[in-house]
Amino acid sequence: MLNFDSNGLIPAIIQHARSGEVLMLGYMDAEALQKTQEGGLVTFWSRSQKALWTKGETSGHYLQLIEIRQDCDSDALLVLVEPIGPTCHTGEPSCFHRKLDGEMVTVRVPSLTILSQLSDTIHTRGDNPTSGSYTFRLLQGGVDRIGKKIGEEAAEVIIAAKNRSVTEVVYEMADLCYHSLVLLEEQGVPIEAVWAELQRRAMPAPQKAVTKGPLTTDLE
């Protein structure tokens, strides 16, 4: 059972389900939580307006619900979402875009969010080609063209490593990652499928039961 506070509210941390980026903090009452679960769009209780509000109902920047988890004390929620457009009312992807001194920051956290961003950009280039888009040309070339580039980039990574050049390794590895993401897009495979496979491999192998002969009881 969830532990709502004295005002009937519970804090809800909103996190991008794919990139892991924390997007905002809101509050829910029991009705907002129920509406979120039933409708699939994140709904909050506005403490200033004293009313329910579904994120995106005026801007169109909705938060599509993926999963909700509770913390160990059952007094806070982690809401995993797929955002449609920027989450912050300022137009920033996340509400957490300023340091304590007020300075704006552009680097999003965690750093791995760049892979999800890049994957989304590649998908957009395929759906909405722009003049001179290298990504679109790669996608149009299919597996043969993309595979050729991956082979070239992999070889360049090896050469950079043999040269013991950190700068070259980083640069060439970035190229290899990009072209690999293009291949995933061409194959219709989401990057999350790769994460799931890595997670599967990281799981400890199940322990096999060890038997030492026939079972006996004290009565025998």
Domain co-membership, 138 together with 177:
yes
Helix, strand or coil for residue 137? helix
Three-state DSSP at 150 gives helix
CA 170 – CA 158 distance, rounded (Å) = 11
Residue 2 counted as domain residue: no
Q: What is the pLDDT of residues 154-194, one digit of tens each?
A: 999 999 999 999 999 999 999 999 999 999 999 999 998 99
Is residue 210 domain-resident?
no
> What is the number of domains present in the chain?
2
* pLDDT tens, position by position, 57-87: 999 999 999 999 999 999 999 999 999 999 9
Q: Rounded to two decimals, what is the model's pTM?
A: 0.76
In a domain, 214, yes or no: no
Evaluated on CA atoms 51, 54, 57, 58, the torsion sign reads positive
Beta bridge partners of 64: 41, 82
Examine the pLDDT at 209 and tell me if it is beyond 80. Answer: no
- Among 83, 100, 127, the domain-final residue is 83
Range of the domain at 20: 10-83
Burial, 32: exposed, middle or buried (Cβ in 10 Å; 0-12, 13-18, 19+)? buried
Mark whether 130 and 55 lie in a shared domain: no
CA dihedral 37, 38, 42, 48 (to 10 degrees): -100
Picking from 78, 74, 39, 71, the residue whose alpha carbon sits closest to that of residue 55 is 39
Look at residues 38, 64, 83 and tell me which one is the last residue of a structural domain: 83
Q: What confidence category does residue 105 fall into, taking pLDDT thresholds of 50, 70 and 90?
A: very high
